[in-house]
Amino acid sequence: MSVKKLYVATWGNPLEWRQVTYNCGEREKKGFVSIVCVEADRYVVYMLDSALTASGRKDRVLADVKEVVKELDRRELVKMEENKEYLVISPRDAGRRREALREYGKAVARRLGQEVEVVATGAKGLYGGLKYSASQDQILGELLLGLWSQVESLGEAAETLEVRLDVTHGVNFMPTVALYVVRLLATVALLYGYSKVWIRVFNATPNEWSYEEMYSEEVAYMQFPWKPGNPALRALYYGAPLHYAKLCRQVDKPSYGTVPSLVGKTVHYVDRPGRVGYRDVYEQLAACAGCRDLRGHWGSLSVGMWWKS
């Protein structure tokens, strides 16, 4: 059985991490984040903008993380300040916030010898004296497209896509939205050509740091969480594959993102290219995934490649 493995982790504030010894099953590994327990084809980290307005007790910030922050400060991506008790970071240039966040996550991972890609979204809540005001649609829309781009980067579909979601770290709502999005993307992966998606959720238990599988689900059939409005996807919903194939000529890959801006003490998010709901992003993404081999020959037998009996 051919399997492609995608590791996705939620990360919060590295300034508060600690060096521990993880029980990874058959072996123990030292590190400050549970990625040390995992072997995968591709490693992805999900981070919020708010990670750039954070602090940690100066006497407890890990030396590796502090060195990363110092380097980003030298590159003028973040501003690092220290007072009697805390090390505090903030973005130097609001227009480079996402660039700084991605560089932050990648550099921290390299301290453990791991190369990762960073998927960034807006945040919601009060962090470091700033109010972040991203909406549900904005967070889910960016996460959907960001994670799907990482699935695509694995190349042609194999028999099974294994998504290992690590929720050991991260702000309170991040594990919930990450699992929801991964479950949505399972159907997209099936339309893309995978026969099965195996979702596995892991967490390192507190204090003993035993890396444990907490939840597992295999998805082998398309699932529609709601009645779709996208014409092509609606054709699938009603079991009309030939009509779906014809409508593929009208399907384009979704383009969506947000641009954060600071107004006073509030971080606002502007939709690009325009306001759209995450459901619309998902439907267009799902329709596009199945249409990629059908454009231009909608009446051919190739429509059977994604139809699960």
What is the pLDDT confidence band of residue 245, given thresholds at 50, 70 and 90?
confident
68 residue type, one letter = V
CA 161 vs CA 45, 164, 182, 186: distances in Å: 18, 10, 11, 9
**pTM given for the model:** 0.92
What is the pLDDT confidence band of residue 302, given thresholds at 50, 70 and 90?
very low
Q: What is the pLDDT of residues 30-69, one digit of tens each?
A: 999 999 999 999 999 999 999 999 999 999 999 999 999 9
Contacts of 63 (CB under 8 A, 6+ apart): none
Q: What is the pLDDT of residues 101-130, one digit of tens each?
A: 999 999 999 999 999 999 999 999 999 999
Q: What is the pLDDT of residues 190-220, one digit of tens each?
A: 999 999 999 999 999 999 999 999 999 999 9
Q: Rounded to 5 degrees, what are φ and ψ at 297?
A: -145, 55
Length of the chain: 309
More confident site: 75 or 300 = 75
How confident is the model over 82-98, as a mean pLDDT? 92
Rounded mean pLDDT of the chain? 92
Q: What percent of the chain shows pLDDT beyond 90?
A: 82
What is the pLDDT confidence band of residue 308, given thresholds at 50, 70 and 90?
very low
Q: What percent of the chain shows pLDDT beyond 70?
A: 94
What residue spans define the domains of the chain? 3-221
The highest-level CATH class for domain 3-221 is alpha beta
Closest CA to 78 of 141, 16, 14, 147: 14
Q: SS3 for the chain, per residue?
A: CCEEEEEEEECCCHHHCCCEEEECCCCEEEECCHHHHCCCCEEEEEEEHHHHCEEEECCCCCHHHHHHHHHHHHCCCEEEEECCCEEEEEECCHHHHHHHHHHHHHHHHHCCCCCCEEEEECCEEEECCEEEECCHHHHHHHHHHHHHHHHHCCCCCCCEEEEEEECCCCCCCHHHHHHHHHHHHHHHHHHHCCCEEEEEEEEECCCCCEEEEEEEEEECCCCCCCCCCCHHHHHHHCCCHHHHHHHHHHCCCCCCEEEEEEECCEEEEEEECCCCCHHHHHHHHHHHHHHCCCCCCCCCHHHHHCCCC
pLDDT at position 294 = 65
